[in-house]
Structure 1
């Protein structure tokens, strides 16, 4: 990816209000595709390469954001794409738990634009 390209982000969030919030907070900085669930996310990664995955953990489906992460990472070329857990879990130890499950970063709800961009930038530009 060249520096002139806008990073592409796939955000998976089942709550319509949070979907709108994500689109609003990220527009202008990133090219963001927001989808509502597992099947739509899997279809999106087949169609388009993404630089970052932003995955809600509690999807109103049989599968969680963690399950989705593992399904995406099994796909060709997707094994190293950084993923950020987006969750209402904000207890001590939750961040470490999500990192152990394969996420690269963690953002708890409610979040700000700064919370999101810091997490995205840290996954795009690891120290």
Structure 2
């Protein structure tokens, strides 16, 4: 990704109000693609490359954001794309659990634009 390119973020969120909020908060800084669930996310990564993933944890009864992360990590082209857990889980130890599960960053709900932007920029920073 060159410095002139706007980073493309895949945001996976099942709540329509939160989808709109994510789009609104991120559209000035990033190219954001918002999808409602696991299947739509898998289709999106077939069609586009992404610089970072923003995954809601409670997506459905069947599959979580953590499940989606593991599915994406199995793909060669997605193995190194940084992922941010977006969740209402904010108890002591939750952050560590998500980082251990393979996420690079963690943002708890409710969040601000600054919270999201900082987490995304931290994941995109050269290691």
Q: Same fold (TM over 0.5)?
A: yes
Aligned to 1:109: 109
* CA distance in structure 2 between the partners assigned to 1:15 and 1:123 by the alignment: 24
Matches within 5 A, 1:77-92: 77-92=77-92
Deviations 1:71-114 (A, max 9, x none): 01111211000000000000111100000000000000000000
Matches within 5 A, 1:1-127: 1-126=1-126
Deviations 1:19-65 (A, max 9, x none): 00000000110000000000000000011000000000001240000
* CA distance in structure 2 between the partners assigned to 1:24 and 1:77 by the alignment: 28
* CA distance in structure 1 between the partners assigned to 2:113 and 2:33 by the alignment: 16
Query: Given the two structures, how large is their TM-score scaled by the length of structure 1?
Result: 0.98
* CA distance in structure 2 between the partners assigned to 1:114 and 1:7 by the alignment: 16
Aligned-pair Cα RMSD in Å: 0.8
Gaps of 5+ in 1: none
* CA distance in structure 2 between the partners assigned to 1:23 and 1:54 by the alignment: 12
* CA distance in structure 1 between the partners assigned to 2:61 and 2:92 by the alignment: 26
Query: Given the two structures, how large is their TM-score scaled by the length of structure 2?
Result: 0.98
